[in-house]
Amino acid sequence: MSRYQILPELRRIPEAFRYGNAYLLKTEKGSILFDPAVPPEKVSDADEVKFLIATHGHYDHVASVRQWKERNNAAFWVAEQEKELLSDARANASFMFGQPTSYPEADRYLQDGEEIELDSELRLKIYNTPGHTKGSMCFLILRQTDDEEAEALALITGDTLFDDSFGRTDLASGDSAEMYRSLQFLRNLLIDLPASLPVCPGHGATVSAGELLNSAVWIFAETLVGR
């Protein structure tokens, strides 16, 4: 798959300073920017961004939320469990980066298992995957056409699951036991998804579901529970 253009409607936007990934999904109702740490001036079609969705509330994933809201009046969505992180500079790790900041409250709080209709075809299935933070979420992008079964297009995993590892659990609201359970859940989910499905992490390279299932991530995960 391409380094940046993952699907015709989905591309990765690297945020160089924090080494993170934002993802831009084009829909009929405007573009959705996942993990909006990247500022508007770094996005060529910034005027199209109407929604901001964060996988979690850490600074390197939400740093530019206020700029996007002020520039585009974009709606901001995140898990309700991330409220404390957004309002607390130590909890959201902006203090660690030398730029202590609090962020706006969300316009919508997302729920585990929720499925959101994005336009006439695209859907977003939401999974709560705590561990890195209590409100960490993963997002499965689906295409639904006619009466056929929805087609899985890509999985956005934030800092829960990387191409060769997983997120740390020693920051505010992190929990190793929850991370282990979330990783086991994602492994079972990936088994049921197409092997070619792009998995889009919060840091690092995009990888296919099949490649990820054959990686050493799952062996490393056993260390979380002392196995």
Distance (Å, whole) CA 16 – CA 12: 12
Per-domain residue ranges for the chain? 5-225
Single-letter residue type at 217: V
Contact 185, 127 (CB under 8 A): yes
Residue 22 above 80 pLDDT?
Answer: yes
Class of domain 5-225: alpha beta
Rounded to the nearest integer, the mean pLDDT of the chain is 94
**What tens digit of pLDDT does each residue of 131-187 get?**
999 999 999 999 998 877 899 999 999 999 999 999 999 999 999 999 999 999 999
For residue 131 the two structure tokens come to 């561990």
For residue 135 the two structure tokens come to 């409100």
Sign of CA dihedral 122, 187, 171, 202: negative
pTM, two decimals, is 0.96
What's the confidence (pLDDT) of residue 123? 97
What's the confidence (pLDDT) of residue 19? 79
For residue 105 the two structure tokens come to 């409250």
Residue 18 above 70 pLDDT?
Answer: no
What's the confidence (pLDDT) of residue 97? 81
